[in-house]
C-alpha cells in the first residue's frame, strides 16, 4: 500500500510539472494521415535521422578506420572517416553487378569472405537484412585480423526498407539487449560496446520520413533508452586469437 501511495504521488508531481494534453486533445496537426511524409526515410528531404546517429558513431570511432577496411555496398564511409591516407579499401556486395565491389560474398555463409584479413569492417545497417544473423556475426569475426575492429549499426525503431525487402529481405529489428547478447557470444563480453540513440520525437520523425535537418541538435541528441532508433556496436577481435 505504501509503495502504491508513493508511486501515485510521484505521478501526480510529474503530471503537474509536465502536464499532458487531455484525452482527445492531442494536436496531430499535419501528421494525422495514414501515409508518411516520406517513404524514403527522409533522404529525399535531407539527412535521415538514423544516418545522423550512424555518422556521429563513425566519427567518434574514426581512429579505428585504418589499414585494410571493408565496407558493404560502397566505400563512402571508409573515405569519409578514414584515419589515414594509406587505407586499403574493399567493398563487399552480395551479388555481382556492383562496379564498386572488390568482393562478392555472403556474410551468412562466409562464401567469398577472406578470413584474418581486415583491420576494420564498417557494417552500417547490414545485419537487419541477413536472416542467419548469428552466422553472419561469426563470419564477420573470422574475417577480422586479431585486434581488428568491427563498427556496426543496427535498426531499432524503423520502417521496412522496401528496397532491401524486395531483393534479399528485411528480417530484424534490435535492442541493446539483443545486440549485446548476439555479439558478445562471438567476440566476448569484454570486447563489445553497445549503445542506443534516439527518443520519442526522433523515432516519430524517422517513421514519418522527416529528416534530421528538420530537427534541432538538442532534439536529436536527447537520449531516451526506451526509444532506440539506432543501435551501435563496436566489437574487437581478441589479439591472441588466430
pLDDT in tens, 61-103: 999 999 999 999 999 999 999 977 768 999 999 999 999 999 9
- Selection from 46, 81, 39, 91 nearest residue 61 by Cα: 81
pLDDT higher than threshold 80 for residue 241 = no
β-bridge partners, 149: 120, 236
**Helix, strand, coil percent content, the chain, rounded in steps of 5:** 40, 20, 45
C-alpha cell at 202: 526522433
In the chain, % of residues over pLDDT 90: 81
- SS3 label, residue 121: strand
pLDDT in tens, 7-51: 555 455 555 555 778 887 888 888 989 999 999 999 999 999 999
pLDDT of residue 169: 96
CATH 3.40.50.150 for domain 50-197+230-236, yes or no, is: yes
pLDDT of residue 20: 76
Average pLDDT along the chain = 92
pLDDT higher than threshold 90 for residue 53 = yes
Task: Assess contact for 220 and 49: CB atoms under 8 A.
Answer: yes
C-alpha cell at 21: 494534453
pLDDT of residue 2: 52
Structural domain spans, the chain = 50-197+230-236
The 3-class SS string of 142-194 reads HHEEEEEEEEEEEECCCCCCHHHHHHCCCCCCCCHHHHHHHHHHHHCHHHEEE
pLDDT in tens, 176-212: 999 999 999 999 999 999 999 999 999 999 999 999 9
Amino acid at each position: 500500500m505504501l509503495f502504491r501511495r508513493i508511486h501515485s504521488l510521484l505521478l501526480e508531481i510529474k503530471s503537474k510539472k509536465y502536464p499532458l494534453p487531455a484525452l482527445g486533445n492531442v494536436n496531430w496537426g499535419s501528421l494525422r494521415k495514414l501515409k508518411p511524409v516520406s517513404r524514403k526515410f527522409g533522404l529525399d528531404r535531407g539527412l535521415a535521422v538514423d544516418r545522423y546517429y550512424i555518422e556521429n558513431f563513425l566519427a567518434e570511432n574514426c581512429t579505428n578506420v585504418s589499414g585494410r577496411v571493408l565496407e558493404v555496398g560502397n566505400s563512402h564511409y571508409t573515405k569519409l572517416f578514414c584515419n589515414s591516407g594509406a587505407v586499403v579499401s574493399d567493398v563487399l556486395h552480395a551479388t555481382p553487378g556492383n562496379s564498386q565491389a572488390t568482393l562478392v560474398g555472403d556474410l551468412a555463409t562466409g562464401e567469398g569472405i577472406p578470413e584474418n584479413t581486415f583491420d576494420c569492417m564498417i557494417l552500417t545497417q547490414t545485419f537487419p537484412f541477413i536472416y542467419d544473423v548469428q552466422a553472419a556475426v561469426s563470419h564477420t569475426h573470422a574475417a577480422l585480423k586479431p585486434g581488428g575492429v568491427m563498427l556496426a549499426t543496427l535498426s531499432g525503431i524503423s520502417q521496412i526498407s522496401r528496397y532491401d525487402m524486395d531483393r534479399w529481405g528485411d528480417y530484424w529489428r534490435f535492442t541493446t539487449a539483443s545486440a549485446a547478447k548476439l555479439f558478445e557470444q562471438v567476440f566476448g563480453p569484454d570486447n563489445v560496446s553497445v549503445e542506443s540513440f534516439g527518443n520519442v520525437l526522433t523515432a516519430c520523425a524517422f517513421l514519418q520520413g522527416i529528416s534530421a535537418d528538420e530537427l534541432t541538435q538538442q532534439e536529436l541528441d536527447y537520449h531516451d533508452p526506451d526509444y532506440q532508433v539506432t543501435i551501435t556496436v563496436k566489437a574487437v577481435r581478441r589479439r591472441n586469437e588466430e
